[in-house]
Structure 1
Amino acid sequence: MAGAVRQPIDEKAFGKFLEENQLIEREKVGIEHKKLTWRVGLQFGFGQSNPTYQITDASGHRYVMRKKPPGKLISKTAHKVEREYRALHALEATDVAVPKTYCLCEDDSVIGTPFYIMEFLDGRIFEDFLMPESKSADERTALWKEAIQTLARLHAVDVKKVGLDKFGKAKGFYSRQTQTWATICISQSKAVDVETKEPVGQLPHFDELVGFFKNERLQPKDRATLVHGDYKIDNLVFHKTEPRVIGILDWEMSTIGHPLSDVCNFITQFYLARSPGTSASSSSSGFLPGATPGLPQPQDILQWYTEISGYDPRPELSWGAAFNIFKLAGVCQGIAARVAARQASSAKAKHHADTRGLLAEFAWVLAQEARDSAQAEAKL
């Protein structure tokens, strides 16, 4: 959803840059060749870690501008709008639905940070994954089917053909991810509450989980595709009336990686519905079998994915789900660290912080399931 601009930019400098460089191919988007004035009227708020703005020209045509956050960034690898632009631009020539990109500006002197401009997509975004706005159970099924088939098409892209073969490393994705998240969790665990002086503490079963994920014999077989990194229903724009994805948003975590990571991220809510203590949070209980008319279950979703991608993730699903829930626990531990530092104080933030232990416990349950399954197969 878009609202008032919370982080203003220098609109005069922004407009001057666009007009001097004529970076938008106006004839292709129906804009007359005349001097244009630009207005930054709205800022999108939902799900945006990179400040995102709706901009409008004098002819009333709308665009979207995404930029890095202002100020010094904690992580050098986060908020890479340049990578977002590169992925989106490369995919324009494929059958993957993405917004058209118009320009990338890497000059900090214009509005303070790098930014890019892309097409405004006028469609539906479902913030509630159960899609209560859908017209019928059949439409809900069709929307979810389209979403997973869109992911399958993304994973089928020939990265070399679109110039993204150097977008990330082709091997060792989960080993690198394990090391990254282990380092993050260790750092977060040391955060101290400013009042009680108590540390946030480490996640339950942390050492066992990291040891399990580092065991290359148990890891999924190496695969390399373009992965979105945060593929889920609310990062998709659907056609206003048809069950059709017209664009995938929020590409800042995209890389070359294992397709299982996107698949597991997409069906996270189905796993959370099984997790003790979390099924009542958000709308996870609605993902239990039969709870929501027309909502397909994982077996259907994975079959639709396999038919298009050619990769069947089901034999590796327990491992991938365990890792995904472990990451989610790490995210909640990070929120706990921010709460401890009083950088986050909302009831929602505190709730997420409090679920980190339950999520880690559940990740360990899934990890044990994956380990037992692998051992049983080894005996056959």
Structure 2
Amino acid sequence: MAGTVRQPIDEAALARYLSTAAPTISQPFTVKQFGFGQSNPTYQLTSLPTAPGGKPQHHVLRKKPPGALVSKTAHKVEREYRVLSALSNASRSESSRESSAPGVPVPKTVCLCEDSSVIGTPFYVMEFVEGRIFEDFLMPDVVAADRAAMWRQAVTVLSALHAVDYKGIGLETFGRPNGFFPRQVATWKAICEAQQKVRDVETGEPVGRLPYMDELLQYFGDPKNQPRDRAGLVHGDFKIDNMMFAREGTEVVGLLDWEMSTIGHPLSDLCNFLTKFILARQSEVAAASGITITKVAGPAGNPLAVSDPAFLPGRTPGLPSLDEIVSWYAASSGYDPRIGNELVYGMAFTIFRLAAICHGIAARYALRQANSAMARQNGLQMVPLAEYAWALVLATKKLTLKL
């Protein structure tokens, strides 16, 4: 839900710009800010009905955060706009019966502004998609049958995304098709090394280095451990709360938040989607590895657990298991990452990347750039997540993980 604007923008300047760049957006409009997300500030623009009895017009604006950015590779709203435009144009094309992007629902883009003088940083505007976003991946208000169907639908969308003819929709230069994981290792190494140097604007304390950073980088960088090359359009942050589900039914009506999208290895998306299920095995993996996972104290002393046993098999009615999801994906995509033990590498790398993302949230909080009330608490998760990533690596050397 959109509510109070926490990071104000120049609404008058925005209105002047949109009057020319996007005349289809009715004016005047009101501005509210969405509460979810910590990366790119996201706003809802609502225009009054243009005719008696009409409905309000809604659009969404996403912009880069203000201030000096810690990472030059993050917050790429221009990339979001490019991939959304390519996918929405392909799915709406009537020039051929076969779309180049079948089954990938995305909002239609309206305009991109790369001029920071308008509202402080580059931004883009897209249509608002009506539906439900489940911040709680367990979908507690959904009946078991619908919960199962929604997760199955999400896997269907994931397979469809990886089947996109990215060259056919103009994204042939969107990323390099080979060497995805070696590049990812180098990228996240550079990002973390920049983030660890950031000092808190009030205390002067540095964010610090992730635990087991050197060991993880050595493991991920070894070609003998890396998955075989595959290339496809990847979302970069594929998970339940980046999907909009229909108000009625179980259909995915929108796949959102594309700032990390690229041409890469589909294993990265699949394992990101499996994160909650991977984390649920924390006790088993920690015991097998001998690693003690740090418990982080949250508000009022409550622990911020990185593991939820509700994602273990059979704990939540209608929720598929990790094995079921991988089997669904393998059947629909033709790629089974369990062959060659590629899934283990992908799972460990996913948890490491999540630690690095939390590391970035901690850095933005240190600079007071983070735009979520939970930013500080989420940033603290970097330590147990990095520990768990290394625990996954060690555990696979001591036992065979049964998926």
TM-score (norm 2): 0.81
Q: Where does 1:197-216 land on structure 2 (aligned, <5 Å)? A: 201-216=208-223
**Structure 1 residues 197, 317: closer, same or farther in 2, change over 3 A?**
same
Query: Among 364, 367, 372, which residue is 2:390 paired with?
Result: 364
- Compute the displacement of 1:77 (Å): 2.2
Q: Summarize deviations over 1:285-328 as a string: whole Å, max 9, x none.
A: 21011111110001111122122222222231100001111122
CA distance in 2: counterparts of 1:113 and 1:12, whole angstroms: 15
**Structure 1 residues 193, 112: closer, same or farther in 2, change over 3 A?**
closer
- Compute the displacement of 1:14 (Å): 2.2
C-alpha contact 1:139 1:243 (8 A) present in aligned 2: yes
C-alpha contact 2:279 2:306 (8 A) present in aligned 1: no
CA distance in 2: counterparts of 1:206 and 1:175, whole angstroms: 16
Q: Summarize deviations over 1:267-302 as a string: whole Å, max 9, x none.
A: 101111111457972672210111111100011111
Q: Which amino acid aligns with 1:313?
A: P
**In the alignment, does 2:65 pair up with 1:87?**
no
Identical positions, percent: 57
**Structure 1 residues 313, 55: closer, same or farther in 2, change over 3 A?**
same
In structure 1, the partner of 2:97 is none
Q: Which runs of 5+ in 2 are unaligned?
A: 51-55, 91-100, 284-292, 296-302
Q: Where does 1:198-347 land on structure 2 (aligned, <5 Å)? A: 201-276=208-283, 281=305, 284-315=308-339, 316-336=342-362
Q: Summarize deviations over 1:109-142 as a string: whole Å, max 9, x none.
A: 33333222111111000000001121x1111100
TM-score (norm 1): 0.85
CA distance in 1: counterparts of 2:376 and 2:11, whole angstroms: 37
Q: Which runs of 5+ in 1 are unaligned?
A: 27-35, 375-380
CA distance in 1: counterparts of 2:386 and 2:18, whole angstroms: 48
Q: Which amino acid aligns with 2:334?
A: G
Which range is displaced more, 96-105 or 362-371?
A: 362-371
CA distance in 1: counterparts of 2:41 and 2:367, whole angstroms: 23
Which range is displaced more, 193-202 or 142-151?
A: 193-202
Q: Which amino acid aligns with 1:296?
A: P
CA distance in 2: counterparts of 1:247 and 1:337, whole angstroms: 30
Which range is displaced more, 317-326 or 332-341?
A: 332-341
Q: Give SS of 1:109's match.
A: coil
Which range is displaced more, 36-45 or 14-23?
A: 14-23
**Structure 1 residues 23, 262: closer, same or farther in 2, change over 3 A?**
farther
C-alpha contact 1:218 1:371 (8 A) present in aligned 2: no
**Structure 1 residues 203, 127: closer, same or farther in 2, change over 3 A?**
same
Which range is displaced more, 211-220 or 106-115?
A: 106-115
CA distance in 2: counterparts of 1:196 and 1:89, whole angstroms: 43
CA distance in 1: counterparts of 2:87 and 2:114, whole angstroms: 20
CA distance in 1: counterparts of 2:35 and 2:170, whole angstroms: 32
Q: Give SS of 2:117's match.
A: helix
CA distance in 2: counterparts of 1:336 and 1:41, whole angstroms: 28
CA distance in 2: counterparts of 1:257 and 1:243, whole angstroms: 28
Q: Give SS of 2:224's match.
A: coil
Q: Summarize deviations over 1:83-106 as a string: whole Å, max 9, x none.
A: 111100111122210011122222
Count of residue pairs brought into register by the alignment: 363
CA distance in 2: counterparts of 1:197 and 1:13, whole angstroms: 36
Q: Give SS of 2:110's match.
A: strand
**In the alignment, does 2:173 pair up with 1:166?**
yes
- Compute the displacement of 1:188 (Å): 3.9
Q: Which amino acid aligns with 1:311?
A: Y
- Compute the displacement of 1:10 (Å): 2.7
**Structure 1 residues 280, 66: closer, same or farther in 2, change over 3 A?**
closer
C-alpha contact 2:65 2:369 (8 A) present in aligned 1: no
C-alpha contact 2:306 2:384 (8 A) present in aligned 1: no
**Structure 1 residues 306, 242: closer, same or farther in 2, change over 3 A?**
same
| Aligned Cα root-mean-square deviation (Å) | 2.9
Q: Give SS of 1:111's match.
A: coil
In structure 2, the partner of 1:53 is 43
Which range is displaced more, 260-269 or 179-188?
A: 179-188
In structure 1, the partner of 2:64 is 68
Query: Among 32, 41, 48, which residue is 2:31 paired with?
Result: 41
**In the alignment, does 2:161 pair up with 1:154?**
yes
C-alpha contact 1:229 1:262 (8 A) present in aligned 2: yes
C-alpha contact 1:227 1:258 (8 A) present in aligned 2: yes
Which range is displaced more, 324-333 or 191-200?
A: 191-200
